[in-house]
Amino acid sequence: MKQYRMYRNCWLEFNLDNLENNFRNFKKMVGPDVLIMPAIKANAYGHGIVPVAKVLEECGANYLGVGSVDEGITLRENGIKMPILIFCSNLIQEVADVYVEYDLIPTIISEEAAQAYAAVAPAGSKIFIKIDTGRGRIGVNAEKFPEFFKTIKALDKLKVEGVYSHMAQANWPDAGADYAMWQYERFAKALAGIGEDAETIPFRQLANTPGGIALPEIRMTGVCPGRAMWGYSPLSKRAEHPDLQAPLVAWKSRLAHINEVIGGKFGDNFAATKLTKPLRMGIMVGGISDGISKKIANGGYVLLHGRKCPVGSSISLEHVILDLTDFPDAKVGDEIVIIGKQGAEEIPYTQRMQEWDLPIPKIWTDLNPHMDRLYYRHGKLWAATKDKVFYPLDAK
Ligand SMILES: *Cc1c(COP(=O)(O)O)cnc(C)c1O
């Protein structure tokens, strides 16, 4: 393993104690008998799939739900032993052998896929079936489920470990729980259609973050929270949600260069850097490619020396130009905060969401995996990642 060093001065900091607390609070909410499968697709919504999986495995999550076989392989190669479900992103017929090799659980939604998997998988291999109850996207139609289940059962090779479905309304029940209840009824009817066999399926799940928090009626034996793990509750009207806190605590940078622009005809000489007056410019590491919005150039600011430092001009792929007029003491190497606290000032991620017009989860998934990510646990630096490579840093 190569030794970890930070080479590029634009990085993210995570407090994984918050993730741990979010998981434990969510577990308390849903009760000890409900199985939990955190959804950690899309690089754990940008939070870094390997460190997140390690924490959740340690906390006692029952399954992990990931978006691709590649993510599943990454987790196995980094020592994750717990059951991993792949949501749905390939034709099982073409990659069934890889599911077997890495012990990944496939989502089965067609007879062809079931047959192809049964042909290569050891007897008793676990599968999940996804049913569509009203999201109108992926899954066996709820009304067709009993017949589909019979077909799978007849293969006599695969163990149906889970049946799951996805909520159609991202932020209900603020929007009203009627649709959710209708989805639940379709789900319940589909399960009733297989009689006593339903009880042999350990993980039966429809509830996501808001469902898990606010609608005990639909929890069944499992829940699949995504956003709750990242400290976000989409519910505004219900009080009984746990105390969720964002594991993403800081996005930082440093001054790479200071440029006293003193001569020339501004605006013409500097075709890309539009200035109306001579300027002391600070060049900050980090730009559009890292996930910083172009909107930051329209009157936006970052924190420097514990104060607001305005953006001075355009933003490019890997840099932002700051206006250092009011920072005569600023020097190369000084720390900058894009998200987080500095001195008495703070820019929460929710402020960036508003300023940059980025909804959840895009504010997180826009964070480029190439940025260094530093992970803290119990007040100590514990690990780092860059380009999804995991570097353990605890001194054990
Ligand atoms: C992403 C995902 C979830 C998590 O949804 P949240 O509303 O963020 O909790 C649940 N189920 C499936 C199938 C998903 O893909």
* pTM, entire model: 0.94
Per the CB < 8 A criterion, the answer to whether 102 and 73 are in contact is yes
* pLDDT band per the 50, 70, 90 thresholds, residue 263: low
Predicted confidence (pLDDT) at residue 236 exceeds the cutoff of 80: no
Q: Is the pLDDT of residue 277 over 90?
A: no
Q: Is the pLDDT of residue 234 over 80?
A: no
The residues lining ligand 1, judged by C-beta closer than 6 Å to any ligand atom, are 39, 41, 87, 166, 208-209, 224-227
- Enter the tokens of residue 291: 């996930």
Q: Is the pLDDT of residue 47 over 70?
A: yes
What pLDDT, on the 0 to 100 scale, is given for residue 113? 96
Q: What is the pLDDT of residues 113-133, one digit of tens each?
A: 999 999 999 999 999 999 999
Query: Residue 213's pLDDT is what?
Result: 85
Phi then psi for residue 372, to 5 deg, are: -60, 135
pLDDT of residue 181: 92
Instruction: Output the CA–CA distances (angstroms, integers) from residue 236 to 175, 178, 242, 252, 273, in the order listed.
Output: 10, 17, 12, 30, 42
Handedness of CA 324, 269, 8, 292 (dihedral sign): positive
In order, the DSSP letters of 104-165 are -BPEE-SHHHHHHHHHHSPTTEEEEEEEESSSSSSSEEGGGHHHHHHHHHHH-SEEEEEEE-
Q: Does 143 score more than 80 pLDDT?
A: yes
Measure the CA–CA gap between 186 and 133, rounded to whole angstroms: 6
CA of 41 to the centre of ligand 1 (A): 9
pLDDT score of 20 more than 70 = yes
pLDDT at 88: 87
pLDDT of the residue at 173 = 62
Q: Which residues pair with residue 35 across a beta bridge?
A: 222
- The predicted pLDDT at position 388 comes to 86
Q: Taking each helix axis as running N to C, give the angle between helix 16-30 and helix 49-59, from 0 to 180 degrees, rounded to the nearest 10.
A: 50
Give the pLDDT confidence score for residue 249 in this predicted structure: 97
pLDDT the model gives residue 1: 63
- What are the respective helix, strand and coil percentages of the chain, to the nearest 5? 30, 30, 40
Check whether 237 has a pLDDT greater than 80.
no
The ligand 1 atom nearest the CA atom of 224: 10
CA angle 109, 69, 88 (to 5 degrees): 25
- pLDDT for 162 equals 98
Q: What is the pLDDT of residue 319?
A: 96
Q: 133, 137, 224: which to mutate for ligand 1, most atoms within 8 A of CB?
A: 224
Residue 86 Cα to ligand 1 midpoint, Å, equals 12
User: DSSP letter at 275?
Assistant: -
Q: Could you check whether the bond before residue 225 is cis, i.e. omega within 30 degrees of 0?
A: no
Indicate which residue's Cα is closest to atom 12 of ligand 1: 166
| Rg of the chain in Å (alpha carbons) | 24
Mention every residue, 6+ apart, whose C-beta is less than 8 A from residue 185. none
Mean pLDDT in residue range 363-388: 96
Question: Has residue 146 got a pLDDT over 80?
Answer: yes
Average pLDDT over residues 311-331: 92
Greater confidence (238 vs 339) lies with: 339
pLDDT digits (tens, 9 = 90+) for 49-86: 999 999 999 999 999 999 999 999 999 999 999 999 99
Amino acid at residue number 295: K
Mean pLDDT of the chain: 92
Cis status, amide bond into 361, omega within 30 of 0: yes
Average pLDDT over residues 87-100: 94
Structure tokens at 376: 């803290």
